[in-house]
Amino acid sequence: MMITNQKRMAAHILSKKEGRTVGVHRVWVNPDYLEEVSSAVQKADIRQLIEDGLIKARPIKGISRGRARKAAEQKAKGRRKGPGSRKGSRNSRDPKKNRWMRLIRAQRRVLKDLRGDETLTPSEYRYYYRKAKGGSYRSIAHMRTNMGLDGIKIGGDE
């Protein structure tokens, strides 16, 4: 039973009704009423069948975001970052300047706190500030170790 013309007309009518294009393949015809649909010749007949619910437009199929959400969740945990996923050098992914800024700001914050609670005298502060600026310390822990070796008692050490 050929209902090609009926589907084409229904697609045209449903497109106007929905306000966006409805393709022929999105037109659903109730399989129990194929006889009735095939006998519909005019657009008015098709409109009536649409009103009666014998012809409908199927919903648009979207692209599922489920997989993308799962991947994003894993990336947030630090997964999927191995060498096979990288495009770009270490420096382009985390520039040297950014690494330096993170390190120096952290060290300067600690120095400021130590000067604030008078663990360091202003002259000692200046000395360690200069050393930090020169890149002498790998980390805050390294800086504190050096302070300890110089005989400065820091609260968290005991």
Do residues 11 and 17 lie in contact, with contact meaning Cβ atoms separated by under 8 Å?
Answer: no
- Between the alpha carbon of residue 97 and those of residues 46, 49, 92, 105, 140, the distances in Å are 69, 69, 11, 12, 18
From first to last of its 158 residues, the chain has per-residue pLDDT tens of 789 999 999 999 999 999 999 999 999 999 999 999 999 999 999 999 999 999 999 999 999 999 999 999 999 999 999 999 999 999 999 999 999 999 999 999 999 999 999 999 999 999 999 999 999 999 999 999 999 999 998 876 44
Output the pTM of the full model.
0.59
The structural domains of the chain, ordered by start, are: 4-57 (1.10.1650.10), 94-157 (1.10.1200.60)
The Cβ-side half-sphere exposure at 125, using a 13 Å CA radius, reads 15
